[in-house]
Amino acid sequence: MPPKTANPSARRTQLLDASYEYALAHGLADLSLRPLAEAVGSSTRVLMFLFGNKDGLVRALLERARTDELALLEHLREADRPIGLARAAEQVWAWLAADEHHALLRLWTEAYARSLVEPAGPWAGFATSTVNDWLDVLAGCQPQPERDSEDGAVRRTMTLAVLRGALLDLLATKDERRVTAAVHRQLALLCGEDRGDA
C-alpha cells in the first residue's frame, strides 16, 4: 500500500471524496472496485495505485467517516466551560436524529459491526476507536471533579450507551418521535442533575 502522506495528492483526495459519497449511498458490505471506479470516473488501476488495494481504500473511507464524526464531537468542546453531560447528549442526539446524517450513521454502524466480527480486516480497531473518541469528548463536557471520578466515568459510559442504542433503534424503525422521547426521558434520569450546573 502506498504510504500515507501528510499532503495527499489532489487526485487521491478527489477520488476519496467521491468514493466516500458512493459509500454513503451504497454501503461497504458489497463494495466492488469496478463499479465504484466507474461511478467516480476512474479505473480500478488508479484506485489500486492510490490506495494500495481494496482494504486500503476501505481504511481510508473509515478514516474519513471518523473525521466527520469527530468534527461533530469537537464542536462540543468549544464552550468556555464544560456544558455538562445532559446538554452535550441532547446536542449529540439532535445531530444523530437529523435525516441528513443517516447515510453517514448507517456507514458508521456497518463499520462498527464489521469491526466486531472481522477484527483482522480493514475495519480493525474501528469500534474501539469510536467508543474511546466519544467517551473522551463526553469527559470533556463534564465539570472537572465529576470527570475525574469513578461515578463520572460510569455516567458518561451510560450516556454513550443510551445514545448508541437509540441510534440503532432510530435507523431500524425511523420512528424519530418515539425514540427521541425515550432518549430525553433516559437522559433526564441519567444526567438530570447536570442541568442546574451547566
Is 136 in contact with 76 (CB distance < 8 Å)?
A: no
> In this model, does residue 158 exceed pLDDT 50?
yes
pTM for this predicted structure: 0.79
Which CATH class for the 10-196 domain? mainly alpha
- Eight-class DSSP state of 194: G
Burial of 28 (0-12, 13-18, 19+ CB in 10 A): buried
CA distance 72 to 1: 30
pLDDT digits (tens, 9 = 90+) for 165-193: 999 999 999 999 999 999 999 988 876 55
Which pairs from 149-158 meet CB under 8 Å and 24+ separation?
A: 155/85, 155/190, 155/191, 156/85, 158/190
pLDDT digits (tens, 9 = 90+) for 93-114: 998 999 988 888 888 898 899 8
Domain definitions of the chain by residue range: 10-196
